[in-house]
Chains A and B, each alone.
Chain A
Amino acid sequence: MHEKHREQAQMVRRRDLLSLIGAMAGSGAMYHAMTSLGFAAESRYGGPIRLEGDPKGATVLILGAGLAGMTAAFELRKAGYSVRVLEFNARPGGRNWTLRGGDRFAELGGVTQACEFEEGLYINPGPWRIPYHHRALLDYCKRLNVALEPFIQLNHNAYLHSQRAFGGRPQRIRAVQADFRGSISELLAKVTRQGKLDEGVTKEDQEILLQALKSWGALDRDYRYNASLISSESRGYAKAPGGGLSAAPAPSDPVALSDILKSRLWRYLQNFANYNFQTTMFQPVGGMDMIGKAFAKELADVITYNAKVTGIAQDDGGVTVSFVDTTVPAKRWTATADWCVCTIPLSIMSQLPVQVSSAMKAAIDAVPYSGSVKVGLQFKRRFWEEDEAIYGGISYTDTPIRQIAYPNTGFNRSSRGVLLGAYLFDGANAYEFTAMTPAERVARAVEFGAAIHPQYKNEFECGVAVAWHRVPFTLGCSGDWSDAARVQHYHNLCQIDGRIVLAGEHASALPAWQEGAILSALDAIGRLHERVVRT
């Protein structure tokens, strides 16, 4: 509370200063000042990193060619360092990854899936959407010429579905949202007019509140939410406006508040309100891995693929990393450098012999990794568009698949399409799906999805399923910090330990987001560089 008050006082002072700057120097200067004072900032990203000063030929070994590792390599090389990147996979990107027709993926346990999607169709098994406030990632997309298109988080015509409500029939998001809002507005208007808010709201504000509720809740002149052309403008019509003789629209019937409440469908509405999921969101054209590929194109000569790190040692003189070439595993290699930026997931790093302080080692050991499963399904036709007018976006369900996400590209074509047929994150179902074979995950996604889209039964062609605990290069989806572990260990995890510094989503306050990986890398190399130029 004290902290918050101080923050508010500070903001007032800043605002005074800003109007002064605005008046004196015009709005361009004011915007610059706002940004540098952290007032208008949507992000902790301060623009391209400037590593000034001579690194005097220092060498840096970077472990992992995901977004954190490649950000570090890209920027350090630009600053004059000699860099080398070791990557476990035969491809760049790490969790920045796309599966397309023709790709093969071997999960832990030995099953290899062959993705048989039609050319141009894909799923992003890992990250798949970019919030507008992830300014670092957006800036790298711009600098690396990665084309973006909208990712549709909220489609009012997609569904909310509960097995136990409305006879298991999916409900349009548009209608649930309108009815929930309308009924609450009606209720609030009623108690306002009964004078029951007199203690909390002034008479003058009550008048404004009633106007607002009428507008926001689509209420009629008597402050009622009922079947009318007013409410239909929000929730949709029984008969939509047309042309000519039969043009007149007919209103639809709202669902009663009690039914909405008991259905629990309201709980999905936060997926559209949460800061991380607010419009505008983006996706790279052609697949998320366009970002990793664009980085790797810049770094082609410094990345060694198929390199499995087996140990990290350090002394006053530098860092020695031992690794094997996974294509010729019998032979052991070492690489040395003055410094090391390690982006290996903690799930793996906690198993490696690593020469770091006991405080950092305890931090490395303190973070379990989340379970998450995604299933991509190809269908003969885009029935969600043709039959149901769902163009992009996400339907939410209480069945174990949790979500069905529609492609945000290739709209309105008579062609095949690929849905994200399941997206489980944490919770019991994510483990249950991980424990299945890939074929069963696909079959179950089809079975549960058919309750929402009966067309599944006739139109399904093929699928792929990625369970992140079975992914060989991460053994999990992302670092699942508990609040207590973060308090105890996060600071120690992010220290420069001798000649080693860690980076990745696990070393950020944006777990599981690509922005976290990039911001952590920028923060780590900024501190590393400071130390190098100082010595």
Chain B
Amino acid sequence: MGTGSALSFALGLAASLAVLPAAAQDAPKPRSFSSGYSFVETSGEELFVNICQGCHMPDAMGATGAGTYPSLASNPNLEAGGYPTYLVLHGRRAMPPFGEMLSDDQIAAVVNYVRTHFGNNFSDAVTAGDVKDARR
């Protein structure tokens, strides 16, 4: 869209947290957009990139202002798949619940993606059935 020339993006004090260099940010990649209340993305990676990284950041390291978004990277709390499943479904404190915006398959996909990326290596996959049970 040629916005780069007219926009000046400076990296602030926490520049080291941003994974993309400023120049790369100006060329949007193809992206899915949902049309209703629920998300259309299906793969774990796509769901992470379109939802989770809004707060937990593209590198899953979280961020801190007046409060903190926790880091999901190398996070031992993800060991039991039921814990992140529960959080995505029902939310916790400021974190919104996504149970009504995501299907069981989508939640399983994104939970498994986070549990096998960003320094996490939990290979016991969460299934859609596990998510369904956790909805109750």
Residues in A lying within 8 Å of B, measured CB to CB: 88, 104, 106, 108-114, 116, 308-309, 344, 346-348, 350-352, 365, 367-371, 398, 400, 427-429, 431-432, 434-440, 442-444, 446-447, 460-463, 467, 469-476, 480
Q: Looking at the assembled complex, report how far the CB atom of B33 sits from the nearest CB atom of chain A, in whole angstroms.
A: 5
Bound CA–CA A121/B121 (angstroms) = 50
A369 touches B96 (CB 8 A): yes
Bound CA–CA A432/B101 (angstroms) = 13
Q: How many residue pairs between the two chains, A and B, have CB atoms under 8 Å in the bound complex? A: 166
Interface of B is mostly: loop
Q: Other than A370-B96, A432-B33, A437-B25, give 13 A-B pairs with Cβ distance below 8 A.
A: A114-B8, A114-B9, A348-B94, A368-B91, A369-B94, A400-B34, A427-B34, A427-B37, A440-B26, A460-B1, A469-B54, A470-B63, A475-B67
| Neighbouring A residues of B20 by C-beta, 8 Å | 437
Residue of A nearest to B10 (CB): A112
Q: List 19 A-B contacts (CB under 8 A).
A: A88-B65, A109-B58, A111-B18, A398-B35, A400-B33, A427-B34, A428-B38, A431-B51, A436-B28, A438-B9, A438-B25, A439-B25, A443-B3, A446-B1, A460-B1, A461-B6, A462-B6, A470-B54, A474-B66
Q: Which listed residue, A88, A369, A442, A474, touches B7 by the CB 8 Å rule?
A: A442
Q: A432-B50, A435-B53 are in contact. Are A440 and B28 (CB under 8 A)?
A: yes
Bound CA–CA A470/B62 (angstroms) = 11
B67-82 interface mask toward A, CB cutoff 8 Å, 1 = contact, 0 = none? 1110000000000000
Q: Looking at the assembled complex, report how far the CB atom of B86 sits from the nearest CB atom of chain A, in whole angstroms.
A: 14
| Neighbouring B residues of A368 by C-beta, 8 Å | 91, 93-97
Q: Looking at the assembled complex, report how far the CB atom of A98 sits from the nearest CB atom of chain B, in whole angstroms.
A: 19
CB within 8 Å of A: which of B22-66? 22, 25-26, 28, 31-40, 49-55, 57-58, 63-66
B11: interface (CB < 8 Å): yes
Bound CA–CA A428/B103 (angstroms) = 13
Bound CA–CA A104/B10 (angstroms) = 9
Residue of B nearest to A465 (CB): B7
A439 touches B6 (CB 8 A): no
Residue of B nearest to A367 (CB): B94
Q: Looking at the assembled complex, report how far the CB atom of B88 sits from the nearest CB atom of chain A, in whole angstroms.
A: 12
Q: Which listed residue, A109, A467, A471, A472, touches B17 by the CB 8 Å rule?
A: A109
| Neighbouring B residues of A469 by C-beta, 8 Å | 54-55
Residue of A nearest to B14 (CB): A110
Bound CA–CA A471/B55 (angstroms) = 10
Residues in B lying within 8 Å of A, measured CB to CB: 1, 3-4, 6-18, 20, 22, 25-26, 28, 31-40, 49-55, 57-58, 63-69, 91-97, 101
A429 touches B34 (CB 8 A): yes
Bound CA–CA A108/B16 (angstroms) = 12
| Neighbouring B residues of A108 by C-beta, 8 Å | 55, 57, 63-65, 69
A350 touches B51 (CB 8 A): no
Interface of A is mostly: mixed
Bound CA–CA A427/B51 (angstroms) = 11
8 closest Cβ contacts across the A-B interface? A472-B65, A347-B94, A428-B34, A434-B54, A348-B67, A110-B14, A108-B63, A112-B12
Bound CA–CA A312/B36 (angstroms) = 41
A110 touches B12 (CB 8 A): yes
Residue of B nearest to A348 (CB): B67
Bound CA–CA A463/B2 (angstroms) = 12
B63 touches A443 (CB 8 A): no
Bound CA–CA A371/B34 (angstroms) = 15
| Neighbouring B residues of A109 by C-beta, 8 Å | 14, 17-18, 57-58, 63
| Neighbouring B residues of A472 by C-beta, 8 Å | 65-66
Q: A347-B94, A439-B3 are in contact. Are A111 and B101 (CB under 8 A)?
A: no
Q: A109-B63, A460-B3 are in contact. Are A351 and B10 (CB under 8 A)?
A: no
Q: Which listed residue, A111, A114, A308, A439, touches B66 by the CB 8 Å rule?
A: A308
Bound CA–CA A368/B8 (angstroms) = 33
Bound CA–CA A435/B28 (angstroms) = 12
B101 touches A428 (CB 8 A): yes
Q: Which listed residue, B12, B34, B92, touches A106 by the CB 8 Å rule?
A: B12
Q: Looking at the assembled complex, report how far the CB atom of A295 sits from the nearest CB atom of chain B, in whole angstroms.
A: 20
B67 touches A443 (CB 8 A): no
B34 touches A439 (CB 8 A): no
Residue of B nearest to A467 (CB): B54
| Neighbouring A residues of B37 by C-beta, 8 Å | 427-428
Residue of A nearest to B16 (CB): A110
Q: Looking at the assembled complex, report how far the CB atom of B132 sits from the nearest CB atom of chain A, in whole angstroms.
A: 21
| Neighbouring B residues of A437 by C-beta, 8 Å | 20, 25
Q: A347-B94, A369-B96 are in contact. Are A112 and B54 (CB under 8 A)?
A: no
Bound CA–CA A436/B67 (angstroms) = 21
B94 touches A435 (CB 8 A): no
